[in-house]
Amino acid sequence: MPAYEGLRRGLPILGLLAVIMAGCEFLGLDEADDTKPPIKKNVTSPPPTTDPRVSETVQPTLQLKIGEGHNVRVQDCYVRLIPAASDRPAVLQIASYASPETESFPSIFISANAPADDMKAIVGQSLTARIFITDKQEGTVWHTADDVPANITVRNADDAGRVTGTIIDGVLHNSSTSTQTPVSGRFDGKLQR
């Protein structure tokens, strides 16, 4: 069942929901271990992007720190800026999958209203965002509350379509229990056109 269909008003649904954690152990999360390689998914990743100012190729990643040192890091990061329409503002979406057909798990979906239709125009601005994360299709959903969103900031958007940023001040809620846990993170993805 597509998640947050109303949020996107008929645009392709990035079917997410079913957020995770039940203690985070089932995701194979280790205490503050940023040295582990990202989880490789069964979907085709976008090609690595090259920033003209950097000589090495960069692989897209999306990483969340959940609770006290638990990390979810996936090797796919898709960024989309959906233009404003007459009935809604522009929407910035960051996800661990390109479309519902290619979704794999763990699955992360982030959505924020944006003040402009141009990625470079939102660089440096703090945006309030909803975060959803799940370990499996029918699993428990961990999400930020409507009235207590996380803050994201796009730190850089280059001409090659590479978009980087940070996630701070978020609190995830378990969809099945009253459990809460803090969340922060970073993303380095390819802008989807």
Domain ranges of the chain: 5-191
pLDDT at 48: 52
Residues of the chain falling short of pLDDT 50? 1-46, 49-56
C-alpha closest to that of 108 among 135, 87, 148: 135
Please write the tens of the pLDDT for every residue from 93-148.
999 999 989 999 999 999 999 999 999 999 999 999 999 999 888 899 999 999 99
Give φ, ψ of 8 to 5 degrees.
Answer: -105, -5
Percent of the chain with pLDDT over 70: 70
CA distances from 71 to 16, 23, 32, 168 (A): 19, 12, 7, 14
Distance CA 89, CA 50 (A): 30
pLDDT at 7: 38
pLDDT at 56: 47
C-alpha closest to that of 169 among 152, 156, 154: 152
Length of the chain: 193
List the alpha helices (DSSP H) in the chain.
5-8, 119-122
Model confidence, pTM: 0.73
Q: With DSSP H G I counted as helix, E B as strand and the rest as coil, what are the percentages for the chain, rounded to 5? A: 5, 45, 50
pLDDT at 58: 62
